[in-house]
Amino acid sequence: MIVYFSIFFSPTLNLYASIIACIISAFFQEPLFFVRFLYDLSFFLIVIIIIIQNLIFGVIIDTFADLRAEKNRKEEMLKNTCFICGLERVKFENKEVTFEEHIKHEHSLWHYLFFIVYIKTKESTEFTGPESYVSDMINTSPPDLEWFPRLRCMSLNTEEAENTEQNEMKELRDQLNDTNQVVKQLSSQLSELRDRMMEHRKNQQRSYVQRIQQLGNLHNRTQSTPQTAPGTSNSPFVAQRPE
């Protein structure tokens, strides 16, 4: 074993011994050998160890930081976003159904997984209409996910429908109030117009009555005036013809 050890390590030991012998001989022969040795050692320490090592460690640290940020982002997305429909947690604030109830009961990930496994294991001859549709979507390459409810759910759709109906009722109520205001304005204008017409008619009747009275007075005056013989005149200034 000692022989094997000497055979294996003898070239290395001889190499190291020769290097050390060269360094010692150069140290005593060259006056600036120690300065050159420190210069070479400082270059190794500054360039190799400090700069390159820091660059390598910086790249590694940045890579791990990016991986950690990506992992946190995925966890945050899974925590605050529904995996099935993609709706965020804020959509369920101040709603009847909370986000936890939604992902647990309405859009449960495990329910969808069980349904896909059920479709895969069921005979195609026993499919119903919806099951045949989903099976065709799943068996395409790549799988078609159009059967997933993207950005919608039954609870929010129901509330949105109720809100839409309430908004429509409010709009109809506002339109009815506006129509009532218009009708009132038209009624007031019509009453004013009717009053004007009645006043105008009364004025016309009054003017007709006055004219009739004037004509009657003129007729009475004409009847009360005495009739004169032809050729005579009632005027005292007219000279009488001699006999």
DSSP collapsed to 3 states, 63-108? HHHHHHHHHHHHHHHHHHECCCCCCEHHHHCCCCCCHHHHHHHHCC
User: What's residue 69's pLDDT?
Assistant: 92
Whether 115 and 137 share a structural domain: yes
State both tokens at 29: 């022969």
> Is 189 contained in some domain?
no
pLDDT digits (tens, 9 = 90+) for 111-152: 999 999 999 898 888 889 889 999 988 888 888 888 888 888
Whether 129 and 96 share a structural domain: yes
Whether 7 and 62 share a structural domain: yes
CB 149 within 8 A of CB 107: yes
User: What's residue 70's pLDDT?
Assistant: 92
> What sections of the chain are H helices per DSSP?
2-29, 33-43, 53-80, 99-101, 109-121, 129-138, 154-224
pLDDT digits (tens, 9 = 90+) for 147-188: 888 888 887 876 665 566 667 777 888 888 888 888 888 888
Q: How many independent structural domains does the chain possess?
A: 2
> Is 231 contained in some domain?
no
Whether 130 and 106 share a structural domain: yes
Spatial CA neighbour of 145 closest among 153, 132, 134: 134
pLDDT band, residue 194 (cuts 50/70/90):
confident
Task: Tell me the longest C-alpha to C-alpha distance in the chain.
Answer: 207
Whether 100 and 64 share a structural domain: no
> Is 29 contained in some domain?
yes
State both tokens at 37: 């040795």
Whether 94 and 73 share a structural domain: no
pTM: 0.44
Burial 76-111 (b: 16+ CB within 10 A, else e): eeeeebbebbebeeebbeeeebebeebbeebbeeee
Contacts of 91 (CB under 8 A, 6+ apart): 99, 156
Domain assignment of residue 7, given as a range: 2-80
Residue 92 and residue 98: Cα distance in Å, rounded?
Answer: 6
Whether 102 and 145 share a structural domain: yes
pLDDT band, residue 15 (cuts 50/70/90):
low
Neighbours of 137 (CB within 10 A): 15
